[in-house]
Amino acid sequence: MPSLMGILLKSLLVFPLVLGLLFSTQNYTPKQSSHFSPADTSQVPSSFGFGRLATQTEIDRIDIDVRPDGKGLPQGKGVAAKGKLIFATKCAACHGAGGIGGPNGSLVHSQVDPTKKRAEKTIGNYWPYATTVFDYIRRAMPFNAPGSLTNEEVYHLTAYLLSANQIIDSSFVVTPTTLPTVKMPAQPLFVPDDRKGGPVIK
Amino acid sequence: MKNKIIELTQRDTKISRRKLLGGAATAAVAIVQTAEGKNVQAALSQAQLLDDDPTKKLGTFPGKIGTRSSFEQLVKDPSETSSRSPLQDFYGIITPSDLHFERHHGGVPVIDPSKHELLIHGMVNKPMIFKVADLKRFPSVSRIAFLECSGNFRSGKETLRPQEICGLTSQSEWTGVKLSTIFREVGIKPTATWFLAEGGDAAVMTRSIPVKKGLDDVIIAYAQNGEALRPEQGYPIRLFVPGWEGNTNVKWLRRIELSDQPFMTREETSKYTEFVNGKVRQFSFDMDARSIITFPSYPQQVEKGWIEIRGIAWSGRGKVHKVEVSVDAGKSWQIANLQEPILDKAHTAFRYLWKWDGNATEIMSRVTDETGYTQPTLKQLVEARGESNGYHFNPITAWQIKPDGSVLFKPESFR
């Protein structure tokens, strides 16, 4: 047998306004939303108090990202000559000698293959920010030993790849202050998405 | 009795014939069709008869986990970088969790949920760390929605199944805590406009996402289709970003950093950007509306007469408004039936009943979403973008029906 409360709740769903008037003394404030659920009367607190505050040490341990303005770059510096040696031993097997034509893709821009409509996308012709080179190598490379490079090695590799792509001079010293100033040739190509739905194909 | 034998043996010729060779006494003779389609007479043993009749043998007792029937061979199609869902083998709109497509950049990590933590910091009032168990205590939400990789397109030959053409889309019921709930808990600064989401896999993969989307409908999901996430789907926690390109749905989520600018990570610069009229389009988050006929499709075979054309349609911008089907190579279009539920940003099943006269033709579907966007032809896409490749390719997919009933993909040349 359905309880009186059950019947009332069911009626509530159907006649929220009418019952709202009838039961106004009981503080019912029925909503007109189709998702109205009479059972959910709880208040959402401003804080649940779950989880704990993070300490600066805890943040620093895994906060490894680097922004285009250089925020996040660690202390250190790198030069192309040293990066070239590291690249030959730790990267060339997958990305080719001098960063061209390896099984996992070129990183250095070279002569356009005349059989292809477009040149292979590389740091030299496609990457819009130099900081991304540092950020990505540090977080993900070498593919088979991720996270194994020291910050110093990453600086040298960044200098080497930028110099091999003829974006910086071979004598350029990559530091937390100089890296964000490097202008990438592809940067002006980048535009934000302007698709908005509707009948237009973009 | 003899009819039954034929039925039984035809149902699985391979097994019956293999068993036959070892069988001793001959109890009956049956007509068996070989894989090449030839009818041959074959003998059946008494044991074989009993074996094949489920009413003559006690079945298996209740078990701890269910299994897929050994007659069903559903498999993903793995490559080095992804694994595609067998769309042509599905019914309805939910992708079985073990057949959800996979795409990752450094393999699937093994993560102990009791040790996994999510750090939220940057432009927040209280930088905080949440254990997986903490996240599960917050008010939860569930939502059925699709997840699609923006690189979900393949063409080039006739012998492609829906799985190869467009198998980087899947659908699940995702359960978790709204990101807005967590944002409220840590108190994000009003000047924070972007956040970085970072995975705890070997790629430590990162994407920048506008805070506006985070406050709207993003979920930190810990469950999929009623159970904890599968490892390939980000166990123990992932971001679920309804309607947006798969890559933003960062798996194995370990860190969120609030900022007033995007971070320009490799996955939003070197990858997941596309040439459009000489420029490079970036932060192209929304998945454009798309549909595909999954039956009939390659390598299925059809017969003259009634055929129920079936498929799925979806849009990253809202609900499916209508699906049209053409059975005359795009000359005319008819409205298909949509199967409820028609959910926001979700695969929606459609059907169209067609009487095939046996003549060669082409069948295809196109979807229109609630914003009024209609799925384009490949030609329209190429004309609009001035390019023939890249991400976010959602063209109409056509199937050629040959007079012998074979079905082949129609790879359009557009270069």
**Residue A19, domain member (yes or no):** no
DSSP letter assigned to residue A86? H
Mean of the pLDDT values across residues A151-163? 98
**Residue A119, domain member (yes or no):** yes
The residue ranges of every structural domain in chain B are: 2-56, 81-272, 290-409
* pLDDT of B109 above 50: yes
Q: Other CB atoms closer than 10 Å to residue A48's CB: what's the count?
A: 15
Task: Give the separation between CA B200 and CA A83, rounded to whole angstroms.
Answer: 27
Task: Give the separation between CA B333 and CA A186, rounded to whole angstroms.
Answer: 43
Residue A51 with chain B: CB contacts under 8 Å: 128-131, 134, 185
Q: B290-409: what fold?
A: Immunoglobulin-like (2.60.40)
ipTM: 0.86
Task: Give the separation between CA B407 and CA A46, rounded to whole angstroms.
Answer: 59
**What are the tens digits of pLDDT across the range B165-202?**
999 999 999 999 999 999 999 999 999 999 999 999 99
Nearest residue on chain A to B130, judged by CA atoms? A51
Task: Give the separation between CA A55 and CA B137, rounded to whole angstroms.
Answer: 22
* pLDDT of A138 above 80: yes
**What are the tens digits of pLDDT across the range A52-86?**
999 999 999 999 999 999 999 999 999 999 999 99
Higher pLDDT, B26 or A161: A161
Under 8 Å between Cβ of B361 and B328: yes
**Residue A194, domain member (yes or no):** no
**Residue A101, domain member (yes or no):** yes
Burial label, A77 (beta-carbon count in 10 A; 0-12, 13-18, 19+): middle
**Residue A2, domain member (yes or no):** no
DSSP letter assigned to residue A178? T
Q: Residue B44 forms beta bridges with which residues? A: B28
Helical H segments across chain A, by residue range: 4-14, 16-22, 56-62, 80-90, 92-95, 123-126, 131-140, 151-164
**Residue A58, domain member (yes or no):** no
Q: B81-272: what fold?
A: Sulfite Oxidase; Chain A, domain 2 (3.90.420)
**Residue A1, domain member (yes or no):** no
**Residue A10, domain member (yes or no):** no
CB spacing of B372 vs A54 below 8 angstroms: no
Interface list for A 127-166 with B (CB within 8 A) = 127-129, 131-132, 135-136, 139-140, 143, 146-147
Taking every pair of Cα atoms in chain B, the longest distance, rounded to a whole number of angstroms, is 84
Range of the domain at A124: 63-186
Whole-structure pTM value: 0.86
Pairing of strands B28-33, B290-295: unpaired
Say whether residue B333 is in contact with chain A using an 8 A CB cutoff.
no
Sheet holding B337-338: strands in order across? B290-295, B305-314, B348-356, B337-338
CATH code of the domain covering residue A110: 1.10.760.10
Number of domains composing chain A: 1
